[in-house]
Every structure is written in C-alpha cells, then in structure tokens.
Structure 1
C-alpha cells in the first residue's frame, strides 16, 4: 500500500502535527513471524559454538604437544595449521562476543509525523562532486517531492564539482520547487578543503545567512540516494519524541545491486544485523546518508569533524561522547547505487576501512579521553570490539596465505598419537562445523541467509586489499610509501571497463588484465593455483605411499582433506575477482530500474530492483558449502567403523 494512502486523512492540512505509532517495531517489514522468535536463540547458540570451537582447538593443541613428546619430532605443518586456526579464532571470538549483545531486546517503534501545522523546519543538504547530473537530479527531485509542507523545508545542493550544467539544472527545477537552492564553495589552492565534511560544513555555515536562518533540523543525502516520499516524516519523530537524540539515521539500501551480489556490495548484513545490535546499546553510527541531525547538537560538537575520511562515524562518536544519543531507524527509506566497476568498489571499501580505524585512533580506541567522556561502558565496549575487528584483515590475510604453503609442504595438517585421538579429533571438527552452520542460519535471519554467506566470502577475498590499505596507512612509514589513501589501481585503466553492460563491456582479455594486474588480483590467482596444486600433489602421493582403504582415507583426511576442507572454501572465495573478470554480471540500464513520472520526472526504484536476485553464483556457493558439510558428516560417520 502507498504510504500516503495508508496515512489517509491524518495529513489533513488543517490538522496540527502529531506523532503516531504505526507499529511496535520499525523493522516489521524486514523480518517477522517465527523467525523473530528463533533469532532470540542466537546468543545462546553462539555460546555453545564458541565453547565447542575452543574445546576443538584445545584438543588440537594437546595432540600436537603429545606427538612431539612421544616421537621427539617437530610437527611443523600441524603447528602452522593450528596457528592459522588460532589466528582466525581471535577475531571470530571477539565478533561472537559482540554478537552476544543481541540478547538485549531492541524496541524502537515505527513512527510517523502527521499533520501540517506547527511542523519543525528542516534544511536538507545534498552533497555531490562530479557525479552524473541525471543521478543527482533524480535525488534532488525526489527530495523536493517529500510529503512535507514546502514552506517548512529547504533543499540545498552542495556542489563540490562546481558544475555549470548542474547549476543550470537546479535553477530550472526551482520553477517547480522554489525551496530548492544551489551552492558551490571556492576551493583555494593549498588550503585543505576536507572533502565531504568540508562541503557539509560550508553548507551548514551558508544556510544561516539565508532568509529565516538555519532550520531546526539538518538532513543530509548523498548524490545518488533517492529518498522515499515519507523519509522526513519517518525519521523526524525519533528526534522529536526524545530531545536527547542528536541524530537519527535509516539504512543505506541500493537498487542496482547485481544478481547474487558477487562482490558483496550490498550493506545488508551491516544494516540488518550489525547496526540494530549497536542501536540497542545506544551506539548507532551515522550511515552516511539519509540522516537527520538536531541543529543545536551539531553546534554543540562544533559542526562536522574534519581531518579524517569517515566523517559520518566521527560525527556519531562526538555526539555520543558529548552525552547525546543516536537512533537507528530500521526502515527502508532511501535507495542508492553501488559502484558499477571493480576498482570503484575497492576504492570505496578501503576508504571505509581506513576511516573506521582513523576514528578509533582519534578517540583512543574508545577507552579514554575527553571526546568520549559521556560514553557508557556498553557503547565503549561495542565500539572497541568493532575497532579492533577492523584489523581482522591483517590476521586473516596471513592465515589465508599460509594454507598453500602447508599443502605444498606435503606434511600432515593434523597429528595424533593413537587411532582414538584421530577419531575424537574428527568428531570435534564435526561438532564445530555443524554448530557453526546452525549459528549462521539463525544469526543471518535479519539480513537473509545468502546475504550472510556473501558477507563471509567478501571478508575473505577483500582481506588482502584491506590488509594492504591498513598496513600502508598505519604501519608503513611514509618514507617507505605509507599513506592514508584508499586503494588505487596501478597504471591507468584508460577507458571504463563497462563490465556490467553486456553491449559495451570490454573484452575478457582486457578485463582480466585490469583485474589481475592493475587491481592486483594476481595474488588471488596465485593463491588458488598453489592451493590446488598442493592439494593435488598431496592427494596423488597418498595413493602411491599408502595401501588399504583405511590407511588411504586416513592419509587423505590428515594431509589434505581435513573436514570441512577449509582450503576449498578459501580458494572459491579468493577466486571471486577472477570469476568477476571472466563473467561479470549484467545489470540493466539505470533507467530500467526506476519508475519515472513522465510529467514531473520524479523517479523511484522499482520494487523488484530493491531486492537482490538469487543467481547462479549464489547457487554454486551453496552447493559447494553443502557438499563440504556432507563430507564432514561422512568423516564423522567413518569414525565409528573405519578408524
């Protein structure tokens, strides 16, 4: 049902403004029914899963020590493999401990501000810098078309690209929407302009000089984020109903995500799992677009903080540290676009990773300091864990690239002193695999199971890129090339690859060269090559060295195919950039994803475009995951009659 139909006569022009409660939960559309009750089991199952995994690692450690004591031989490969599992465990345990906050019930209702009289004034700032004019104007028109009295809100386009054409388009649109403004600041050579934060601060300063001064509230939108007609009426009530709330923000959702989302570009796991948990602790971060701030709160923190590349997180930290609170409105209220090229995606995500760590360092990892004086213990703990997990790619990359080394060494991954130890090692591995799968099914409920799986694979193949960016930004001295800059492809990409346009995309050879060489995925290719080569050699040697079914199976399992065959999952995940270059997804032209009013030109994403389609890649990954899980079950069964 259309929003305006559902509210009906409540928005009578003569009705005083008031807040109504549409539902007890703001995320009623995302997940409901029995799934919500099953989700309550997640924290308890996480506890069991962590306990099982620690027991498994403890038993592995015991077996390694026993073998060395009884034989006097160092089990080198087994120790490396144990080290890999241990390194991965540290962030895994921290992440699970943080997920335990799901125990706390989140009770944020779905609210609406109705009526037309006595509504608060709002300034909406749209930041842009050389984006496509059609994209910007779609955001501008949808923002001006808000279900909100025109005289009570003002829309200002902050153009950091100083585009003559965009200025002209905005002035033409003013004929329909006189509350629309255009501004572009002067950038003086040698003077830091602080990118988006500087652009926002320029807008915050300039709107105070406009007739009527600044609005009571200030909202911000990215250039490509198309707001729903009820965006303002949905977010504002959370600020009006609690005067301690400095900022309320909805999730960033997208309408051009390819089928299967091969690069993991959607933020569904973050916006549907991570951010709601943070909200329960009063630690919700600004999502970067679609948020609304109280002007007095912005003045209290001295405007948008500059000096970093993640001004949204920094702003959230300053609000909470000053004693204000933030609110996460878990409702689909804006839809934008993901980068439509591989290098653009890498640049975006490495920038986010660097910005998150920069902000953590600026507030002493949320442990002490005047900037976070009023943060509660829960907020500090939550933010600290997320900050530390930002370094996860460094550990994960080291762990990942140790796997091919172990396989090529041709040494046993797991050692034991007796058949009985081997049986219990396999049973312990089986228990951890099954418990992990159960936790995944339940923990991923809010975002969707396949979204969670994509996120898990994304963490693996993106780890080398993020690790390199973090290493250069925070560990490598400047005189050796250290720099806090996002990923940049080597050389020049020349012209765009247009990889998602079936008619104009570059040929496969050009795409492979770009991804493997310029985007440095050659390391991903080498990992897959050496992992498979090592596995094949170790498997081949087994049939030469051993005789008898039981001995062959024991050799295979302990040298190469230890359940759940982690190297297969890693290799298939690491292969993602190469698979993308070989067979990139086809995405319809942007116009085909929109419903556009032929008279006004106002466009909103089609309903089908708001959902991520299930494609062949997702099906293939799930088949692979299912097969390795079944293999683990067979190994478990074999402990009762073969070993």
Structure 2
C-alpha cells in the first residue's frame, strides 16, 4: 500500500519528528531557520492572532458564568415545580397547563444547558502550537478535490490555488475527482496539466442500480486510483471541497502536526468562507463552531474532520476501511472511527482555507439538514458512542462528545413539539404560573431574573471568539431551523416510505434549484415568486402560521385578562402569569420564526464572486480579499434584533424591582 522508498519514510518519521527549532513568532523565517526537513515552531498557540489578550481573559470567565447560569436555571425550575405542587395541594385541583409550560421552558432551555455544560471545558487548555514545515525534504501527499456539478470556474479556482501551494511540486499530486463526469471540466483540467504536471483528472464510472455512496465513494475511488499512477500512492491523503481555496502554506501548516505524533491520524483546519452576506441572515458562517465548539473538542481529544482541508495518514484510513460509506456525513464518521481505533485527531485553529456558503435558501436547507442527518446516522451506527467494537478505544470525553451531538440533533424533534405547544398553552387562558401565595410568586420572579441575568452575561463572554452578533444569530437559527431538521430526521428514521419517509437529506417540494437568484441585485426573482417558493416549496408557511398563532394567542389572553379582571392590579397580575411571564420568550421565538419570511422579502445582495477575489494576472490564481473574509454586520439591522433582547431584559428587571413593592 506504500510504494514510497523506505529511506523516504524513515526521513519523514524519524528525522523530521524530533526537530523543532524555536523560530521567532513571525510568519517569516530567518535564513537560520530555513533548513531542510525542519519543523519551525512559530508560536505556542495556533490561534494567537485571533483574539486580543483582554478578550481572551474575559472569555476564560465563561466556565464560571456557565456554572452560575446552570445553577440559577435549575433553581428556577425547581421552584416552579415545587410551587405548582404547593398550589395544587392548596386549591385541591391540578394545573395541567402550568406543567406543560414548565416542559416548554425546559425544552427550549435544554440546548442552552448542553452548550453551557460543554463550555465548562474551556478551562482545559489546548496544546496545539503553530508550526511550519520548511525545506524541500517533505512527505508526499495526494490532494483530492471532490466535485459534483459545481461551476467549472469555481473548481478551477480551487485547482489553480492548490497547484500553486508553497510545497515542492514533485511531492504532491492534485487529483480532481469529478462525480459529474463534466466534459468541460475534463478539458479545462487537461489544459492545466500543460502548466502543472502534478494535476490529473479522474471520473469514476457509475452503473444504474449500483450504489455509488456519494462523496465517500468518490474519495474511496481516488484512494484506489492513485495506486496505479506514476509513483504510486502517497503516504498522506488530503482533501478539499470544490469551492475551498487553500492558503499557500496550507500543507506546511497542517502536516507538522502529523509528523510530531505517529498516532496522529488526521489534522483539520476550520472551514471559513468569503461570500457570507452582510449580517449573515441565515447564520451560514460556522464561526461559533470554528472558534468555540471545535477548540473545546480539540482540547478534549475529540477534534472532528470537518470535510475539507484535512490531511490524514493513508495507513490510518486503511485501518478503518478508508472512508465509511454508511453515512452522508463521511467526515464526522471518519474521524469518529479513527478515534474508536485509538488514533488521534487534531484541530488546527488557523485560517488555511476559504470557500463559499450556499447562495440560496434551498441549498442552505439541504446542506444543514444533511449535516444533521449524517450526525444522527453516524450516532446510530456507533450506538451513540456508548458501546461497541468500533469505538472500543474511545476515551470518556470522546464518547461524551458523540453522545451530546447526537442528542442535540435528535432534540430538534422535541424542541419543535415544545414550540408548537407554546401558543396552545397561551391561547387556553389557563394560568401558566401556579403558586399558593404571594411570597412564592416573588421568589419565582427573583429566580427568573437571576437566571436571565447570568445567562446574558454568559452569552457575552461565550460569544467573544465568534462575535456577539454571530452567536445570537446562531441561537435564533437553532429555533427556526428546528422544524426542518425534525422533519428530516422523522422522514429518514421514523416514517415508512408509503407515509413520506425517505433516506436522504431534506428535499422540499419542487426543485431544489429554485433559480430565485435571490442574492443577485440585478437578476433576483420578483418578490411574489420569492415568497411563493420559500413559503410553499420550502415550507415557510409553517413559520408564518406559527408566528401569527403565537401573536393571536398573546392578544386573546391579554384581552381576557382586561375583560375578566376589574382592578388594574388584578389585570397586571393576570397578564404576568399568562402571556407576559418574563422573559417574554414568545417574542424571541416569533421573531426567529419570521426569519425565512424576512429573508424572502428582503434578501441580502451579494456581488459577483469575482469581485470577492484578487486574481494574479500571470498565474490566474485567485484568493479572497481581506474584506471578503470578514462578515459585515450593519448597525441598523443588528439593532432591531438587539432591541428584543434589551426589551426582554429591561422588562424582567422591572418586574424584579416591582416585586419588592407589591
């Protein structure tokens, strides 16, 4: 399986491994450090340039705030339960809707609980330095660029940038794995071969009725195909998505982490993007995952393969049967199986690749539901990381991570049901808050205020690495995306085929390629067509119905309180214990559910992709501009969302203060 000469393997594994000269913390090397076969140590942290020191120390407060938030939340819920029981005993009756409302509150808070629990591990330090492999005596790498129907220009930009890496040309091979068998792409790569002798085009045969296993099958085809190429298979395998443009030092930054440790099977940088629209209305960036979730997992030894930009040992992949074909998320499955065999994985927290987010609402849904489906599929196959031969060598934290992320995906079903129960409970007119005396009500208000205050402080600290706006966008996206993910999971794992079940990612009625061109300010479809496609084809009608149902329930309940109570104090108390119980959660839920509709009405405008790139006129290599690498959050748009949180916080504070006087 390894046709490389033994002398080369010995140089890679034995001679390079112990050599770590300590270079200055600069991205440039002095001549003294530029020695053949050395690994330069640039900094003790690979993310040293991403946060100022003062922000980093504030971020380290998150675990303490998270513990405080969990404590205040559960104090509040404990009081809610005890006081309902007390009220039932005093009044000799049950309060079923009060119990339902408690369930709704816990269900909507459950993702927060898991996130807060996971953030406690921020205190566990990562030991991932910033390294560079220098010189020309370097390992050989097969770089696979997987594609399937993307624009030829997009693929060529990735191919050219990969061929122009700062890496000896005779030490790596670029293999275009085209699953669409595109004649235009075949010809274009043929033209590139005249300039870059290390690039080749391959397209695997597909036969009717024979499963081809999507991206995993394409990668496995490439794994086998390189065996028959001149020089045979390389020691390392790297992969890039068709749209991911690597930085010139990509391989030199990732490979040293594999050379350091012979048990390191895979090292992966984050997926970053250069075409995220202003304000990121659908929360398409992965910044919270990139800058918060994945570093925590890496510190616990649970770094995921995130699908692009990774480098892996070929013999490690061989041990697990190469890329697993039983999941649409072959990247997560691959890293999980490697960990289950006792291998290690690493997350390199450097900006080493930049790609494109889906440029339409439909393609965004398809991507995110496919990710959720793949996570659940992998979890089912690996028994949620709890037992089984495939995960026999996993550590406690690796098993815990597998379990938590599976539960989070499945929890979308319960979250959707709980959100649907919210307006039903509101419209009933029955008391949502049960208590036996005024003292109990005051303590409930105080506990509610404490939980909200600690949670808000924790959010400010936790969202520092990804940005506060991105963090809040993610929280809202979790709400409005939950019906789509829940529907995908139910159709894939619960419903039989004759009831609409299907083993694939979410596919709305109508064509996935809606041709709305909604982000093109010149060619976007008219307003009515955008609304029709997103509301009907992409099922946002449910979101509209839910939002109006909630508002109608709040209005009706408020009107009842005004009509049935004679004094102002009684009316205020009725409103407080019905629709206006702090922190007014229905406001945030309704606004989150309105996002697909507001996106259809006023989609963001994006320039042509070429305007987001800087292209070398000689080589044709294009790289993202510095401005396009950053998300633009515009003041007025963000202020609208922040007003909701501000109103909620001020209202809860006002009720808290008033409780001392009434």
**Fold match (TM-score > 0.5):** yes
List aligned pairs for 1:134-213, cutoff 5 A: 134-213=153-232
Give 2:3's aligned residue: none
Q: What is the DSSP-based 3-state SS (H/G/I as helix, E as strand, rest coil) of the residue aligned with 1:158?
A: strand
* 1:126 equivalent in alignment to 2:145: yes
Alpha-carbon spacing, 1:5–1:85, altered in 2? closer, same or farther (3 Å): closer
Q: Does structure 2 conserve the Cα–Cα contact (< 8 Å) formed by 1:126 and 1:221?
A: yes
* 1:44 equivalent in alignment to 2:64: yes
Deviation of 1:387 (Å)? 1.5
Deviation of 1:556 (Å)? 1.8
Give 2:459's aligned residue: 440
Give 1:306's aligned residue: 325
* 1:336 equivalent in alignment to 2:355: yes
* 1:106 equivalent in alignment to 2:126: yes
- Aligned counterpart in structure 2 of residue 566 of structure 1, from 557, 579, 585: 585
List aligned pairs for 1:393-472, cutoff 5 A: 393-472=412-491
Deviation of 1:551 (Å)? 2.4
CA distance in 2, matches of 1:205, 1:445: 44
Q: Deviations over 1:57-88 (max 9, x none)?
A: 11111121122211123323222211111333
Q: Does structure 2 conserve the Cα–Cα contact (< 8 Å) formed by 1:305 and 1:315?
A: yes
Q: Deviations over 1:266-297 (max 9, x none)?
A: 11111111111111111111000000001111
Give 1:530's aligned residue: 549
Q: Deviations over 1:41-68 (max 9, x none)?
A: 2222211111111110111111211222
Deviation of 1:40 (Å)? 2.1
Q: Does structure 2 conserve the Cα–Cα contact (< 8 Å) formed by 1:10 and 1:115?
A: no
Larger mean Cα displacement after TM superposition, 454-463 or 539-548: 539-548
Deviation of 1:160 (Å)? 0.6
Deviation of 1:11 (Å)? 8.2
Alpha-carbon spacing, 1:495–1:343, altered in 2? closer, same or farther (3 Å): closer
List aligned pairs for 1:225-264, cutoff 5 A: 225-264=244-283
Deviation of 1:100 (Å)? 2.2
CA distance in 2, matches of 1:624, 1:461: 16
Alpha-carbon spacing, 1:10–1:407, altered in 2? closer, same or farther (3 Å): farther
CA distance in 2, matches of 1:443, 1:551: 40
Q: Deviations over 1:351-391 (max 9, x none)?
A: 11010011111111111111111111121112211221221
Give 2:42's aligned residue: 22
CA distance in 2, matches of 1:474, 1:10: 59
Q: Deviations over 1:83-132 (max 9, x none)?
A: 1113334444333323322231112111111122x211111100001100
Give 1:7's aligned residue: 29
Q: Does structure 1 conserve the Cα–Cα contact (< 8 Å) formed by 2:274 and 2:354?
A: yes
Deviation of 1:230 (Å)? 0.7
CA distance in 2, matches of 1:120, 1:494: 42
Larger mean Cα displacement after TM superposition, 19-28 or 479-488: 479-488
Q: Deviations over 1:599-628 (max 9, x none)?
A: 211101111111111124332111211121
Q: What is the DSSP-based 3-state SS (H/G/I as helix, E as strand, rest coil) of the residue aligned with 2:237?
A: strand
Larger mean Cα displacement after TM superposition, 28-37 or 121-130: 28-37
- Aligned counterpart in structure 1 of residue 596 of structure 2, from 553, 569, 577: 577
Larger mean Cα displacement after TM superposition, 103-112 or 140-149: 103-112
Q: For structure 1, which runs of at least 5 residues remain unmatched after alignment? A: none
Aligned residues: 637
Query: Runs of at least 4 residues of structure 1 off by over 6 A?
Result: none
Q: Does structure 1 conserve the Cα–Cα contact (< 8 Å) formed by 2:362 and 2:512?
A: no
Q: Does structure 2 conserve the Cα–Cα contact (< 8 Å) formed by 1:251 and 1:287?
A: yes
Q: Deviations over 1:334-363 (max 9, x none)?
A: 010011011111111111101001111111
Give 1:506's aligned residue: 525
- Aligned counterpart in structure 1 of residue 296 of structure 2, from 277, 287, 291: 277
Q: What is the DSSP-based 3-state SS (H/G/I as helix, E as strand, rest coil) of the residue aligned with 1:276?
A: helix
Give 1:289's aligned residue: 308
CA distance in 2, matches of 1:165, 1:594: 23
CA distance in 2, matches of 1:424, 1:495: 53
Larger mean Cα displacement after TM superposition, 542-551 or 249-258: 542-551
Give the structure-2-normalised TM-score.
Answer: 0.94
Give the structure-1-normalised TM-score.
Answer: 0.96
CA distance in 2, matches of 1:172, 1:339: 28
CA distance in 2, matches of 1:572, 1:90: 20
Alpha-carbon spacing, 1:631–1:288, altered in 2? closer, same or farther (3 Å): same
Give 1:630's aligned residue: 650
Deviation of 1:432 (Å)? 0.7
Give 2:387's aligned residue: 368
Alpha-carbon spacing, 1:242–1:307, altered in 2? closer, same or farther (3 Å): same
CA distance in 1, matches of 2:89, 2:220: 66
Alpha-carbon spacing, 1:585–1:10, altered in 2? closer, same or farther (3 Å): farther
Q: Does structure 2 conserve the Cα–Cα contact (< 8 Å) formed by 1:354 and 1:484?
A: no
Alpha-carbon spacing, 1:181–1:4, altered in 2? closer, same or farther (3 Å): farther
Q: Does structure 2 conserve the Cα–Cα contact (< 8 Å) formed by 1:264 and 1:458?
A: yes
Q: Does structure 2 conserve the Cα–Cα contact (< 8 Å) formed by 1:262 and 1:617?
A: no
Alpha-carbon spacing, 1:259–1:579, altered in 2? closer, same or farther (3 Å): same
Q: Does structure 2 conserve the Cα–Cα contact (< 8 Å) formed by 1:254 and 1:335?
A: yes
CA distance in 2, matches of 1:217, 1:133: 27
CA distance in 1, matches of 2:470, 2:513: 33
Q: What is the DSSP-based 3-state SS (H/G/I as helix, E as strand, rest coil) of the residue aligned with 1:610?
A: coil
Deviation of 1:412 (Å)? 2.3
Q: Does structure 1 conserve the Cα–Cα contact (< 8 Å) formed by 2:362 and 2:514?
A: no
Larger mean Cα displacement after TM superposition, 218-227 or 380-389: 380-389
CA distance in 1, matches of 2:512, 2:397: 46
Q: Does structure 2 conserve the Cα–Cα contact (< 8 Å) formed by 1:145 and 1:229?
A: yes
Q: Does structure 1 conserve the Cα–Cα contact (< 8 Å) formed by 2:291 and 2:465?
A: yes
Q: Does structure 1 conserve the Cα–Cα contact (< 8 Å) formed by 2:143 and 2:174?
A: yes
Q: Does structure 2 conserve the Cα–Cα contact (< 8 Å) formed by 1:98 and 1:385?
A: no
Q: What is the DSSP-based 3-state SS (H/G/I as helix, E as strand, rest coil) of the residue aligned with 1:6?
A: coil
Aligned-pair Cα RMSD in Å = 1.6
* 1:497 equivalent in alignment to 2:519: no
CA distance in 1, matches of 2:309, 2:388: 30
Q: For structure 2, which runs of at least 5 residues remain unmatched after alignment? A: 1-24
Deviation of 1:5 (Å)? 7.0
Alpha-carbon spacing, 1:10–1:192, altered in 2? closer, same or farther (3 Å): farther
CA distance in 2, matches of 1:159, 1:110: 33
Alpha-carbon spacing, 1:393–1:10, altered in 2? closer, same or farther (3 Å): farther
Q: Does structure 2 conserve the Cα–Cα contact (< 8 Å) formed by 1:95 and 1:385?
A: no
